[in-house]
């Protein structure tokens, strides 16, 4: 019996405790990655606590018959528990959210006008603001994007494993597999509209799961610069995805 099956059987409480301790570093890793994108007043310890509850939930609910590795399932439950705890917070003031909408509107307008993704300076000029103010707003919005996007991806599918990372469930029909493929293709197409540096940051952060500090070392940039690139890449991606969806409705 492998560790996943032992976790599910819950026969041996000592083994459950061992598994819990074995996966605690993963809780801390996920909590730190999320914490890096949140406002300063959010405590890392609170995220770790929520993540531990998610890990315990994973130990209680894991079903090896679903053909998903326990580590992948645990990561999903840990991340979900942390994000669920964050949903109870609302640090995004209305003025900040309005600024976020204006950035997305500026990106969409410039993309349509230029036929490409706009440069940072072009977005700032369209908004009539400085680059420094644009970066500051985008980075503050980055934490809100975490809540809005990851909750939509993780929770709106009814507690299934992550859409992109997981293997297809044996209960999925042809329509589900088609939708999964379509979403991956659209996301890949949207990422392809970004600059090479933006694509590198997105790939290293989400696919390779590097921290901002590690990405900065790989790209030989300052960590703050990597955060800026990431923060502005998100509204560009959303704009590209919306444009793709709109174009399809016109066919």
Q: What is the per-residue pLDDT across 73-113, written as a single tens digit (0 to 9) for each?
A: 888 899 889 888 887 665 556 787 888 889 999 999 999 99
In order of 8, 72, 77, 137, the CA distances from 62 in angstroms are: 5, 11, 10, 40
183 vs 212, which has greater pLDDT? 212
Q: What is the pLDDT of residue 161?
A: 33
Q: Are residues 64 and 106 in the same domain?
A: no
Give the model's confidence band at 182: pLDDT under 50 very low, under 70 low, under 90 confident, else very high.
low
Q: What is the DSSP letter of 160?
A: P
% of the chain beyond a pLDDT of 70 = 72
Q: Are residues 32 and 110 in the same domain?
A: no
169 vs 219, which has greater pLDDT? 219
Q: Per the structure, how many domains does the chain have?
A: 2
Last residue of some domain: 72, 91, 110? 91
Q: Are residues 73 and 135 in the same domain?
A: no
Q: Are residues 151 and 72 in the same domain?
A: no
pLDDT at 168 over 80: no
- We report the CATH number of the domain holding residue 70 as 1.10.1740.10
Q: Are residues 71 and 104 in the same domain?
A: no
Q: Are residues 191 and 113 in the same domain?
A: yes
Domain of 182 in residue numbering reads as 92-251
Last residue of some domain: 57, 91, 125? 91
Span 42-60, average pLDDT: 90
Last residue of some domain: 91, 120, 148? 91
* 202: nearest Cα among 173, 238, 171, 178: 238
Q: Are residues 113 and 214 in the same domain?
A: yes
Q: Are residues 4 and 101 in the same domain?
A: no
Secondary structure of 134-153 as H, E, C letters: HHHHHHHHHHHHHHHHHHHH
3 vs 120, which has greater pLDDT? 120
- We report the CATH number of the domain holding residue 249 as 1.10.10.10
Q: Are residues 104 and 206 in the same domain?
A: yes
Q: Are residues 156 and 99 in the same domain?
A: yes
* 245: nearest Cα among 178, 180, 175, 190: 190
pLDDT at 230 over 60: yes
Give the model's confidence band at 219: pLDDT under 50 very low, under 70 low, under 90 confident, else very high.
very high
pLDDT at 125 over 90: yes
Span 183-205, average pLDDT: 87
DSSP 12-49: -HHHHHHHHHHHHHHHHHHHHHHHTTS-TTS-HHHHHH
pLDDT at 185 over 70: yes
pTM: 0.63
Q: Are residues 230 and 240 in the same domain?
A: yes
Q: Are residues 63 and 1 in the same domain?
A: yes
């Amino acid at each position: 019996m492998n560790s996943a099956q032992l976790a599910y059987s819950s026969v041996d409480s000592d083994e459950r405790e061992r598994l819990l301790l074995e996966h605690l570093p993963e809780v801390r890793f996920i909590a730190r990655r999320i914490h890096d994108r949140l406002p300063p007043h959010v405590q890392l310890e609170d995220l770790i606590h929520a993540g531990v509850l998610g890990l315990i939930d994973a130990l209680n609910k894991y079903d090896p018959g679903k053909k998903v590795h326990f580590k992948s399932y645990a990561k999903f439950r840990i991340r979900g528990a942390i994000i669920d705890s964050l949903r109870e917070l609302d640090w995004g003031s209305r003025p900040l959210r309005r600024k976020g909408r204006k950035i997305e509107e500026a990106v969409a307008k410039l993309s349509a006008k230029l036929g490409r993704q706009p440069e940072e300076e072009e977005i700032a000029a369209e908004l009539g603001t400085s680059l420094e103010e644009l970066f500051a707003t985008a980075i503050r919005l980055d934490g809100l994007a975490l809540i809005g996007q990851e909750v939509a991806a993780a929770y709106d599918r009814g507690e299934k494993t992550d859409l992109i990372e997981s293997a297809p469930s044996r209960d999925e029909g042809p329509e589900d597999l088609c939708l999964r493929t379509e979403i991956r293709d659209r996301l890949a197409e949207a990422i392809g509209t970004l600059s090479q540096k933006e694509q590198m940051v997105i790939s290293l952060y989400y696919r390779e799961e590097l921290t901002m500090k590690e990405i900065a070392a790989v790209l030989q940039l300052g960590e703050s610069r990597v955060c800026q690139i990431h923060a502005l890449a998100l509204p560009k991606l959303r704009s590209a995805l919306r444009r793709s969806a709109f174009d399809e409705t016109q066919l």
